[in-house]
Amino acid sequence: MLHDPTPAADKRAAFRAGLAAGRLLRFPGAFSPLSAMLIQRHGFEGVYVSGAVVSADLGLPDVGLTTLTEVSQRAQQIARVTALPALVDADTGFGEPMNVARTVQVLEDAGVAGMHVEDQVNPKRCGHLAGKDIVDRGTAVKRVKAAVAARRDPRFVIAARTDAAAVAGMAEAIERAKAYADAGADLIFPEAMADEADWARFRAAVGTPILANMTEFGKSKLLGAKTLHDLGVNVVIYPVTLLRLAMRAAETGLAAIEARGSQQELLGQMQHRRDLYDLLDYRAYNAFDTDIYNFEI
């Protein structure tokens, strides 16, 4: 009720234990706290907070327009309702290395389990768009070092994303991954890998746990969980999947209402009121009212 009782430290410990266990951790992207509750109910290992989703939900493109305040507020809202660890997209850290350091501490305070910072120029753009660019390797390493130095809870997971494969080639992406791991990154996120061959090459060269982005309509072939596990991937994110499903359903529903003047034919496609109330645990709130709130004079 209200907030999930699981301490942030326990969520971070669970994330680290999962990384050490060698199994694939699945982190669907939550576009709201309610969707995060649904992710937990369906048995996933974590929740992802996508920068692209936060941008889109604010009616903005994913080109570095969101702020640390907006991202951390949404991350805190999502983290508070679930026992699952939440991993947050922190873009380039919202500025220079000192900004990266502040970002880590703000997100720690938000109760999330980890964040990733990337090596694109600031402001960044979606990793699956053309025209992106990366900072030099030394600048990127400073971002990772700043994040690691600012971390107060050693269980908080620092992930380093590299967009180098699409800009400078796979060899540079691998060298950057090694440098970021040496700088203290716990998890490496190579963006825009093309296919199984890319993953196999990257895994063979990099010993640190790695993350795969299975976003739709992008540069990466969509691979199943078993394939990713067999390739040695540790974490897979589905960042925009739920938002895309929800927006298409909303678009279809609005078109039907506009055309027919009623939502009657859509009832079978909707989450029933009783299922929403069950997900929100109305019974716990009613029990609180009965046992604590109500009183007699």
| Percent above pLDDT 70 for the chain | 96
How many residues are given for the chain?
Answer: 297
Give residues with Cβ within 8 angstroms of 131, minimum separation 6: 125
pLDDT, mean of residues 25-36: 98
Q: Of 45, 143, 213, 234, which is the active-site residue?
A: 213
Could you tell me the pLDDT band of residue 127, with boundaries at 50, 70 and 90?
low
The answer to whether the CB of 81 falls within 8 A of the CB of 279 is no
Q: Of 16, 126, 163, 234, which is the active-site residue?
A: 126
Q: Of 89, 108, 186, 198, which is the active-site residue?
A: 89
Q: Give pLDDT, residue 132.
A: 79
* Residue pLDDT, tens place only, 153-174: 999 999 999 999 989 999 999 9
Q: Of 12, 26, 128, 161, which is the active-site residue?
A: 161
H-helix segments, 42-91? 51-57, 68-79
Q: Of 108, 118, 163, 186, which is the active-site residue?
A: 118
pLDDT, mean of residues 219-235: 97
- Arithmetic mean of pLDDT over the chain: 95
On the question of a cis peptide bond just before residue 190, with omega within 30 degrees of 0, the verdict is no
* CATH superfamily, region 8-246: Phosphoenolpyruvate-binding domains (3.20.20.60)
272 is catalytic: no
Q: In angstroms, rounded to a whole number, what is the distance separating the alpha carbons of residues 60 and 16? A: 33
pLDDT, mean of residues 16-44: 97
Could you tell me the pLDDT band of residue 292, with boundaries at 50, 70 and 90?
confident
Residue 284: count other Cβ atoms within 10 Å of its Cβ.
11
89 is catalytic: yes
pLDDT, mean of residues 14-25: 96
238 is catalytic: no
The answer to whether the CB of 127 falls within 8 A of the CB of 192 is yes
Q: Give pLDDT, residue 296.
A: 59
Q: Give pLDDT, residue 233.
A: 98
Domain regions of the chain by residue span: 8-246
265 is catalytic: no
The alpha-carbon radius of gyration of the chain (Å, integer) is: 20
Q: Give pLDDT, residue 128.
A: 67
161 is catalytic: yes
The side-by-side arrangement of strands in the sheet containing 86-89 is 47-49, 86-89, 114-118, 157-162, 187-190
Could you tell me the pLDDT band of residue 189, with boundaries at 50, 70 and 90?
very high
3-state secondary structure of 236: strand
The answer to whether the CB of 210 falls within 8 A of the CB of 203 is yes
4 is catalytic: no
Of the listed ranges 73-82, 127-136, 162-171, the least confidently predicted one is: 127-136
116 is catalytic: yes
Alpha carbon 199 to its chain centroid, in Å, reads: 20
pLDDT, mean of residues 143-148: 98
| Percent above pLDDT 90 for the chain | 88
Could you tell me the pLDDT band of residue 122, with boundaries at 50, 70 and 90?
confident
182 is catalytic: no
3-state secondary structure of 212: strand
Residue 251: count other Cβ atoms within 10 Å of its Cβ.
10
Q: Of 180, 191, 198, 238, which is the active-site residue?
A: 191
H-helix segments, the chain? 8-21, 33-41, 51-57, 68-79, 97-109, 137-150, 164-168, 170-182, 196-205, 225-230, 241-260, 273-280, 282-288
CA-closest candidate to residue 80, choices 26, 40, 27, 25: 40
pLDDT, mean of residues 131-144: 92
Q: Of 12, 16, 45, 91, which is the active-site residue?
A: 91
pLDDT, mean of residues 11-33: 97
Q: Are strands 157-162 and 235-238 parallel, antiparallel or unpaired?
A: unpaired
Structure tokens at 261: 């003047």
Q: Of 12, 26, 45, 48, which is the active-site residue?
A: 48
The answer to whether the CB of 126 falls within 8 A of the CB of 63 is yes
* Residue pLDDT, tens place only, 257-284: 999 999 999 999 999 999 999 999 999 9
